Amino acid sequence: MKPREKATTQQPVYRVALLGTKFMGKAHSQAYRNVNMYFSDAPKVEQAVICGRSPEETEQAREAFGWQEASTDWKAVVARDDIDIVDVSTPGNMHCEMVLAAAEAGKQIVCEKPLANTLQEAERMVAAVESAGVRHLLMHNYRRVPAVALAKRMVDDGRIGKIYHFRARYLQDWALSPGLELVWRFDAKLAGSGALGDLGAHVIDLGRYLCGEVAELAATSETFIKQRPVEAGSSEMADVTVDDAAALCVRFANGAIGTIEASRFAPGRKNHNTFEINGSKGSLTFDLENLNNLKFYSVDDQPDTQGFHEIIACSLGKHPYADNWWFDGHLLGYEHSFTHMIYDWLRALAAGGSTHPDFHDGLRNQRILDAAARASQSRSWEVVG
């Protein structure tokens, strides 16, 4: 089926069906809910239908998040003629089936990361959207944190020069307690992988975004707590089948080298997605725990005042997306990155194009994760496929 064509003689209205009602359903909902409030040049979007498994929870989500309809039959919704965009915000093990159905129905598709739990699924999904000729967006939302978008602009403008290093880590600490039960994120069948796929995928995406393709890597991973209670308070234990942490050495196609780490066992690190780029003309550092800031060192500054600039990346007229929100130094938060992503996506759709990151980005990310998993086993450097 062909994607539903938007008349270009009047401003299009995009009607969205959202699959998923939990954390990511909420995050994506607020983006659709707010994008037209803040971005006057964004195409109009309608929150048409939200789909979930439980009728009660889906209805609650509908009302709270502002969707017109609730449904427990996502397949029927995806097939509806009055839907333009299907947004897949379910856990990774559902992505493939849903995306295939949406592509089959000719919808434009938004998919939460990771694209899929396996490389094979990711390949099928890319083939499907390509064959259907639909647009596709992968929600690596951190690319649209203004400070990260500013970093990208600076790299592209040559202000960092030739890149020598990319080092990044994404650390959290929620898994520290041995008493924490075996939630789905500890189960390879549901989650695909552990810290590597959950957290590492984000910093790998940022690495690709800012430094280009990863060529090869070495890796190791570890499961520090090998068994957990099957449920909270239970004395029955089950195996943790994913990694708690992973560490990579990477070489980029452009010659840069670096390290990447992901861990759920870093006390005090709540959402510590941080990177540093060193190039021939300067350096950049970012930390999601202080997400409005970007630090920049320039070799071109006057010698005696060289030092990392602490940029508060929300000044009007200066920084990405800033003009649409508040005044200088009035900080943005986590969810704004989703709003920015949907804004860019809607504008791209209306212009007849698409935007990055798309499913190709997701597939390449998956190949890197796959190489990391292989490298952990082979104990050798692996070339990214």
What residues from 248 to 307 belong to the interface with a copy of itself (CB under 8 A)?
Answer: 248-251, 255, 257-259, 261, 263, 265-272, 276, 278-283, 288-293, 295-299, 301, 303-307
Rounded CA gap, 240 and 175, in Å?
11
CB of 52 to a copy of itself, least distance (A): 16
With CB under 8 A as the contact rule, the residue among 13, 22, 41, 64 that binds a copy of itself is 64
- ∠ CA 298-301-307 to the nearest 5 degrees? 65
Rounded CA gap, 27 and 177, in Å?
27
CB 161 within 8 A of CB 277: no
Backbone phi, then psi, for 41, in 5-degree steps?
Answer: -95, 10
CB of 129 to a copy of itself, least distance (A): 29
Q: Which range binds a copy of itself by CB under 8 A, 47-55, 79-87, 97-105, 221-229?
A: 221-229
Task: Quote the tokens at residue 237.
Answer: 């234990």
**Strand 13-19, strand 69-71: pairing:** unpaired
Residue 47 as a binder of a copy of itself (CB under 8 A): the answer is no
DSSP state of 3: P
CB of 88 to a copy of itself, least distance (A): 20
Site string for a copy of itself, 313-352 (x = CB under 8 A): -xx-xxx-----xxxxxxxxxxxx----------------
Q: Which range binds a copy of itself by CB under 8 A, 81-89, 95-103, 165-173, 180-188?
A: 165-173
With CB under 8 A as the contact rule, the residue among 49, 115, 203, 245 that binds a copy of itself is 245
Amino acid at 89: S
CB of 373 to a copy of itself, least distance (A): 14
Rounded CA gap, 250 and 63, in Å?
46
CB 137 within 8 A of CB 228: no
Task: Quote the tokens at residue 377.
Answer: 């086993």
